[in-house]
Amino acid sequence: MALAEATSGQFLLTEYTELEDGTTVPVVRKFEAKFRKPAIGAVSSTASALPDTRVAFKETFRRRGKATLYVAVDVSDEHGTHALSAMVGWFVKRVDK
């Protein structure tokens, strides 16, 4: 779960570099996980967001100064076993410096 949260946060900052300017506060508001199979050995993860969700997030954030983005994360082990699926909901708000 820690890897899934960290991966979703990295995805948020990579996809929306404008959030790194020190005027925003991202907070995990919702975390849902489904454990599929035990992971054996090293684990890796991938994150994604639906294209429509990305556009809506940017537009809402630009207009209102706050928005929520849901990031899907999959965690697999070194053998390719799908160990965990997660949905992480990030609430991002612009703050005054």
59 exposed, middle or buried (CB, 10 Å; 0-12, 13-18, 19+)? exposed
pLDDT of 96 higher than 80: no
pLDDT of 22 higher than 90: no
pLDDT of residue 64: 95
Average pLDDT, the chain: 94
pLDDT of residue 97: 60
Contact 71, 5 (CB under 8 A): no
For the segment 31-62, what is each residue's pLDDT rounded down to a tens digit?
Answer: 999 999 999 999 999 999 988 898 899 999 99
pLDDT of 76 higher than 90: yes
Which domains are assigned to the chain? 2-94 (3.10.129.10)
